[in-house]
Amino acid sequence: MLVIRPITAADFAALKQIAIESGAGFTSLPVNDARLQQKIAHAEHSFAARVEGPGDQGYLFVLEDTQTGEIVGTTGIEAAVGLSTPLYHFQQNTVIHHSAELNVFNQLKTLTLCNDYTGASEICTLFLRESYRRNHAGRFLSKVRFLFMAEYPERFSDRVIAEMRGAADSDGQPPFWHWLQKLFLTIDFPTADHLIGIGKKAFIAELMPRHPIYVGLLPECAQQVIGQVHQNTKPALKMLENEGFAHRGYIDLFDAGPTVEARLSQIKSVAASKKVPVKIAEVQGEQTLAVANTELQGFRASFSKNAKFDADQQQLLLTSEFADTLRLRDGDLARFIVLDKA
């Protein structure tokens, strides 16, 4: 059985292996021992902290195969981004150049460096090993974050974002990057990617263009990928769009991938989740349910058809094995959503 739980220091080796497997462009997990250990320690502190509102907390979870003890994936939530280290985006705008005398009316697209998402919560750091990308595991890894956020809404902003990986060429390099590198940064993409991953972002403020950029002046290959996602990211974007996330014109500085956003209370899985008492019973449901207990440091979640919602009794029926996995007993409260595709 696959179970989500908070990360611990004992998971360092597994997290490093995931960082290696995730490859370039996955800046939230750099292959850097000190940075990874820092992220784990920060997560442990965040789960233990008493908070009244979103702040500098990061909740990092691991997906464990209980049969083998192997860590096969990870997923995370940042409570409020940009508070300690600035979070930069390009904002897409349109400016009008109009001459009534010449009867000329031009609408020109621009990109402007901004920090507009400061304070928003971010869902991030989702990775699942390829051999486990089946049987709802990927959907669960994405949606389990919404179960946690629904249970602890006070820990998160009402504005939730997700940064989507941008388009890449046959060499794995983002076409949007090349004009930036040539004119402003003069460092290669892996170097910039690494610096972002280890939290050294000062060069963005120091070297990036400070004035609006006219999109029409960029190379055609850069213009074409603005707001486009990497081929491998399309399923994740589709899933988030089904949850109610939308692109409002903000893109990543380096690969031009879209950042999508939604209101926490309006995210489909948050709004649809139910919190009800558990009843231990022999049951085989028709739908796959994602179920989580209501603990913080002891958070556990999994998915199975060994669960069924009794609408008449307003109870969640779980088999004893499934309940034990989630550390639930008769009468405990649990939160769940239907995991099957609508």
User: Amino acid identity, residue 113?
Assistant: L
Please identify which of the residues 89, 194, 230, 247 carries the catalytic annotation.
230
**Alpha-carbon dihedral sign for residues 23, 59, 235, 27:** negative
- Here the tokens at position 170 are 């046959």
Residue 340 to residue 342: CA distance in whole angstroms: 6
Residue 242 to residue 274: CA distance in whole angstroms: 19
Contacts 24+ apart (CB under 8 A), 36-39: 36/12, 37/9, 37/12, 39/15
Q: Look at strands 159-163 and 213-214 and give their pairing.
A: unpaired
Residue with tokens 């000062």: 202
Which of 104, 91, 317 is CA-nearest to residue 212?
91
Please say if 194 is a catalytic residue. no
Q: Which residues are catalytic?
A: 230
